[in-house]
Amino acid sequence: MSPPTTHPAKSANQIAWPEPRAAYIHVPFCRHRCGYCDFAIIAGRSELVPRYLAALRREIESSAWLNRRPHSVDTLYIGGGTPTLLSAAELRELLQILNEQFERTPTAEYTIEANPDGLTEEKLEVLQEFGVNRISLGVQTFFDEQLVQLERTHTAVETVRAIESVRDHFENYSIDLIFALPGQSLEQWKQILRKAMEFEPPHISTYALTFEKGTRFWGDRDKGLLTQTDTGIEVEMYRFAAQFLQDHGYQHYEVSNFARPGMKSRHNATYWSGRPFLAFGPGAASFVNGQRHTNHRSSFTWMKRLEAGESPVASSDDLSPEERARELLAIGLRQRDGLPVQPIQDMTGFDVFELCGTELNDLAARKWIGFDRERVWITPEGLLFADEIAAELI
């Protein structure tokens, strides 16, 4: 390959980073911590919601990253935790805070994560009233025994009711499913996908169960109490889901995500494309002006620091242009359409074909990626090795 001419590498302060047009809000509350979860959550402490809301307002109001208020955004995403664990009145207060601080463009995508249990008609009406237009529903499975195994707090019956209620209120919604549970068969996974198709959701995310260090599942696996699914079976499950969903009209647009035409997650695309974004709440990480700033994971530390008038940020990184170019390439390759290389060069001054030529040629030889002079993309085979691809490039 004859790569384009390389521009001189740029320092962070030479890059004209665009203004963030996306914002994430982390709501840390859950009924309890599931055995596989390593997110920044706080379980069984709903009495702390008023204190959290006051701290969140203070964090957003004092943010140095907001150039003006209300700050205009194209996507707004409320995640957790379980945001819909809040009462209808608390949800109303949360959404009012966000309405005061963020101005959504006319076509903005406004998402909230929800669990099937506790998702009442009143809460759905509050979400509608404040302009939320997309629900991400944590279904995980339609088998009660698997929901118990995952330590979810809803039943299969509640799941079906929740999906039906969401469909009645929102045109755009997504369901999350988990596969490769200990003891789960390929046939059970097929049944879960077939059940999902009964509702024809606009968007589906499928994730293999992972054993994260520090979680109860990690410890139980090491003690022999849980057996991780054989890699071969996990690969079969992934491949079946990809083909099955594409056969049913879904576009496989990212490693774990499938959407009907026009229903891709625009907010998540911000992350995968390397565009700047704002984030607020415990454990939330912003990417602004080429720097990543991560808040304290502890909800208590996060609140205490804000109450004391201090910054909630626990760490900041300022990657070099070369490191940023590698990261943009690695993250962008999660998208099935791949990514154009010129924007990376424009932002960092690095031509990825010269910077990562050896790695790219090696990955292409394994048939995990493909590329031409303008784009790099992941192959169907490479989808099985997305994490390994990212590790090699970074």
Q: What's the confidence (pLDDT) of residue 88? A: 97
- Domain boundaries, given as residue ranges, for the chain: 19-272, 321-393
Higher pLDDT, 338 or 163: 163
Question: What count of residues does the chain have?
Answer: 394
Residues 6+ apart with CB under 8 A from 302: 55, 281, 282, 283, 295, 296, 312
The HSE-up count of residue 173 (CA atoms within 13 Å, CB side) is 26
| Mean pLDDT score, 359-373 | 94
State the pLDDT confidence band at 41, using cuts at 50, 70 and 90. Answer: confident
Q: What is the pLDDT of residues 103-161, one digit of tens each?
A: 999 999 999 999 999 899 999 999 999 999 999 999 999 999 999 999 999 999 999 99
Question: Does pLDDT of 273 surpass 50?
Answer: yes
pLDDT band at 274 (very low <50, low <70, confident <90, very high): confident
Q: What is the pTM of this model?
A: 0.92
Domain 19-272 CATH assignment equals 3.30.1360.30: no
Give residue 16's pLDDT band: very low, low, confident or very high (50, 70, 90). low
Q: What is the CATH number of domain 321-393?
A: 1.10.10.920
pLDDT (0 to 100) of residue 186: 96
Q: In the prediction, which pLDDT does 64 show?
A: 80
Kindly tell me if the per-residue pLDDT of 7 is higher than 60. Answer: no
For residue 35, name the pLDDT band (cuts at 50, 70, 90).
Answer: confident
C-alpha to C-alpha distance for 285 and 24, rounded to whole angstroms: 9
pLDDT given for residue 15 in this prediction: 63
What number is the average pLDDT over the span 281-296?
93
184 and 206 in contact (C-beta within 8 Å)? Answer: no
- Name the nearest CA neighbour of 270 among 180, 323, 335: 335
